[in-house]
Amino acid sequence: MPILTSEFISHSFLELQAFIVKELENTDGQSRFISDEWVREEGGGGRTMIIGEGAKIIKGGVAFSKVEGEITSLMRDQMGMQGQRFLATGVSIVIHSRHPMHPTMHMNVRYFETDQGEHWFGGGIDLTPIYVDIMLAKTFHQSLKLACDAYAEKAYHQYKAWADDYFYLPHRNETRGVGGIFFDHVKPGNEEEKERVFAFCLELGRLFPVLYAAQTATEFSKPTDQQLTWQALRWSRYVEYNLLFDRGTRFGIISNGRTESILLSMPPVAHWKYNYHPEKGSAELQTLQYLKKDVVWL
């Protein structure tokens, strides 16, 4: 049986990126990704693919990277990493939609290895609607459950709860969106297990464009000013989450990663209003009521 090397994994992630990019271009139907290849001084590099000003996608990116380096004391403290050197490879996506009735969507799959022989996978997909549509949130979670069930019994329930805890803004007492799945430090016990976890990661990656197409299938007429204002306010919460809490963002900044690739998750625009509360009975307030942990979407 061939050994699943880090070379093979990172090569598969690179192919995954190409697949996702093609599919998202088909869904958008107008804009095309541009590609930025970069090399990291300390070791490794990546290919960042960026799209903007599309029919459906207003700003987004699909980033591949494979980086190596020294495990710093900051990484030891903040991420519990041991050993002297690490290797990290993965694909990371954030897509912001043009229309406020279309969501922001995120996917990440990643593989870590240290020179102490430890290795693990992590990943997740989550959905951040500007306005929550209950049916769309349900179909999103149903698709994730199917993918999880094919991988491991109880995986959906475990990873869904993990996502509720992880994609959470404590200072706002709200979730980033309607959640999804999240997992980290999944350490396979043997080679067979490693292949299974890796196959699951690839499956999640391939699922992303399918889910995005489903979330943006309905066309809407010109958005109102109120919808656009709400979109910019919700995007400010996305900024807060990513800069204050997101592990990938903080790891990237700490480990001297490529800033423009790390911050491709930023929305095109964000608004802050002091102490803003939506009106009683409004669609905006209704959306806030769904941004809670432990909502059962199935």
Among 40, 119, 271, 293, binds a second copy (CB under 8 A): 271
Among 16, 21, 105, 262, binds a second copy (CB under 8 A): 262
Neighbours of 48 (CB within 10 A): 22
Among 18, 239, 288, 295, binds a second copy (CB under 8 A): 239
CB of 27 or CB of 261, closer to a second copy: 261
Considering only residues 13 to 42 of the shown chain, the ones binding a second copy according to CB under 8 A are: 36
Q: Which residue has the tokens 């204002």?
A: 229
Between CA 97 and CA 235 the distance in angstroms is 11
Q: Taking CB under 8 A as the rule, does residue 62 contact a second copy?
A: no
Between CA 94 and CA 126 the distance in angstroms is 10
Considering only residues 206 to 235 of the shown chain, the ones binding a second copy according to CB under 8 A are: 232
CB of 73 or CB of 275, closer to a second copy: 275
Residue whose C-alpha is closest to residue 122's, from 209, 210, 251, 20: 251
Contact region with a second copy (CB under 8 A), list: 136-144, 153-161, 185-193, 267-275: 267-275
DSSP state of 223: P
Distance of closest approach, residue 239 Cβ to a second copy, in angstroms: 6
Q: Taking CB under 8 A as the rule, does residue 270 contact a second copy?
A: yes
Instruction: Reduce the secondary structure of 51-104 to three states and give it as a string.
Output: EECCCCEEEEEEEEEEEEEECCHHHHHHHCCCCCEEEEEEEEEEEEECCCCCCE
Distance of closest approach, residue 171 Cβ to a second copy, in angstroms: 4
Among 43, 188, 268, 278, binds a second copy (CB under 8 A): 268
Residue whose C-alpha is closest to residue 271's, from 223, 232, 228: 232
Among 101, 201, 204, 266, binds a second copy (CB under 8 A): 266
φ, ψ for residue 62 (rounded to 5)?
Answer: -125, 110
Question: Do the Cβ atoms of 125 and 132 come closer than 8 Å?
Answer: no
Q: Taking CB under 8 A as the rule, does residue 253 contact a second copy?
A: yes
CB of 138 or CB of 271, closer to a second copy: 271
Q: Which residue has the tokens 């990704």?
A: 33
Considering only residues 141 to 200 of the shown chain, the ones binding a second copy according to CB under 8 A are: 170-172
Among 73, 84, 190, 275, binds a second copy (CB under 8 A): 275
Compute the CA torsion angle 72, 81, 165, 242 (nearest 10 deg).
Answer: 20
Question: Do the Cβ atoms of 124 and 155 come closer than 8 Å?
Answer: no
Distance of closest approach, residue 244 Cβ to a second copy, in angstroms: 5
Residue of 102, 106, 157, 185 marked catalytic: 106
Between CA 233 and CA 244 the distance in angstroms is 17
Count the site residues for a second copy by CB under 8 A: 32
99 is catalytic: no
Q: Taking CB under 8 A as the rule, does residue 243 contact a second copy?
A: yes
Between CA 70 and CA 153 the distance in angstroms is 37
Q: Which residues are part of the catalytic machinery? A: 106
Q: Which residues bind a second copy (CB under 8 A)?
A: 36, 50, 52, 59, 61, 170-172, 232, 236, 239-240, 243-244, 250, 253, 256, 259-260, 262-264, 266-275
